[in-house]
Amino acid sequence: MSTAAARAEVPNDLAAFWLPFTPNRSFKKRPRLISKSKDMHYYTPEGREILDATAALWCCNAGHNRAPIVAAIQRQAAELDFSPTFQFAHPLAFQVSSRIAALAPGDLDHVFFTNSGSEAGDTALKIAIAYHNVRGHGSRQRLIGRERGYHGVGFGGISVGGMVNNRKFFGSLLTGTDHLPATYNREHQAFTKGEPEWGGHLADALEGIVGLHDASTIAAVIVEPMAGSTGVLPPPKGYLQKLRAICDKYGLLLIFDEVITGFGRLGFGFAAERYGVIPDMITFAKGVTSGTVPMGGVIVRKHIYDAFMHGPEHAIELFHGYTYSGHPLACAASLATLDLYRDEGLFERVKMLEPKWYDALMTLKGLPHVLDIRCVGLTGAIDLAPIPGSVGLRGYQALEYSFHEAGIMLRLSGDTIELTPPFIVSEAQIGEIVEKVGRTIKSVA
């Protein structure tokens, strides 16, 4: 666009915006527009009410436009717009770090800020390799992920991730990666409430990977405690404990990607606590500000931070960071969000709702084309059978019907419906979600 054109009036139409992870042509024929939100609801520009069954990509755990968070962001914008955290800092960044470290289990005591889950994933992988380097183990460079894993869209994240479409268009990716098998098996696990009994043994595949490459070449293993984006795959009982034991045996760092599971989604500050497994690093984003201002980060254990604190004191210890790491608005939003989680007991609320949520979702069993229903914490997924030859079409039709006809926001991953409401969801609203999802499933039968 020319400078003159940039100054002139331009039409506000749908052409210029290339939507991420969206079929742009279908969307622009029948857009799903949202212009307002409050608590459990979105509103379209015409004022139609849409029940949010997704917490907006698993972000808005506290619900939408909560007054204390809005006020904190407004106050902060008027006080300090931005200050760098390279060589300078502002007090809120230290305050939020301490609060997050206090929420994390064990000696996960230090926080490195990013602006998204993708940046958090790549940051954790870089810290893992650098950690071995600074300790004189420079040959430990391999990174192990898992099939069906999602760690964002940076080159590191897609290289250790295991979602085929996110990888196959983007060349050779990082070298030196390998993947554990996915933990899902419909034959053994279908219609399980919570963590499946079958599948703990799948962690033993890490022994095979170590046997192939040798531990001396492997830096870290990264997994989501519960794989979210690929359709809510709760960890089989004992699986994460086994991974921890094998990592310890061979000196591999274990990274939990808690971008979805962090901040209460499974009824605890972090899934690490639910499962009693302390990883070496946790990545987070989304719920840290209840989605209001972009923020992510990596929490590292004391031994990792300490390994870098050597050499001349005037020298930078880790050559990594983002201009907006620890942005003042994000810090203010996070502090208000963490207060709200605590004051309203929202993580405990997830625990209280969990059995009712499971029972409600399982009533959808038996509807047309429902192949499996999974749930853990306040998450759920319903696999629908694909239309033969058109994988994802039934899911897209369900997305359109649910928004335009049923008045509910769902997340569709292919033909899988994902449900992750804000923690303030009432029991009556859980009933409403199930009724609307049921109607949607029948509409695409």
Ligand X SMILES: Cc1ncc(COP(=O)(O)O)c(C=O)c1O
Binding residues (CB under 6 A) for ligand X: these are 116-118, 121, 150-152, 224, 228-229, 257, 259-260, 285
Closer CB to ligand X, 111 or 285, in the complex: 285
State which H helix or E strand residue 371 sits in.
Answer: strand 370-376
Closer CB to ligand X, 87 or 165, in the complex: 165
Closer CB to ligand X, 156 or 199, in the complex: 156
Contact assessment for residue 141 and residue 219, using Cβ atoms and an 8 Å cutoff: yes
Contact assessment for residue 264 and residue 284, using Cβ atoms and an 8 Å cutoff: no
Smallest separation, CB 377 to ligand X (Å) = 14
Report residue 312 as tokens. 């001349």
Closer CB to ligand X, 85 or 115, in the complex: 115
DSSP string computed for 19-53: -TTS-HHHHHHS-----EEEBTEEE-TT--EEEES
Smallest separation, CB 363 to ligand X (Å) = 27
Closer CB to ligand X, 116 or 292, in the complex: 116
AA identity, residue 126: K
Smallest separation, CB 283 to ligand X (Å) = 7
Taking the alpha carbons of 10, 11, 16, 19 in that order, is the dihedral positive or negative?
positive
AA identity, residue 106: G
Closer CB to ligand X, 144 or 434, in the complex: 144
| Closest-CA residue to 104 (of 300, 286, 259, 294) | 300
Closer CB to ligand X, 58 or 423, in the complex: 58
AA identity, residue 202: L
Smallest separation, CB 153 to ligand X (Å) = 6
Per-residue HEC secondary structure of 206-255 comes to: HHHHHHHHCHHHEEEEEECCCECCCCCECCCCCHHHHHHHHHHHHCCEEE
Smallest separation, CB 177 to ligand X (Å) = 16
Q: Cα angle at 231 between 402 and 234, to 5 degrees?
A: 130
Closer CB to ligand X, 119 or 178, in the complex: 119
Smallest separation, CB 266 to ligand X (Å) = 13
Strand partners, 384: 370
Smallest separation, CB 180 to ligand X (Å) = 15
Smallest separation, CB 411 to ligand X (Å) = 10
CA distances from 48 to 35, 51, 55 (A): 10, 10, 18
Report residue 368 as tokens. 């047309």
> Nearest residue to ligand X, using CB?
117
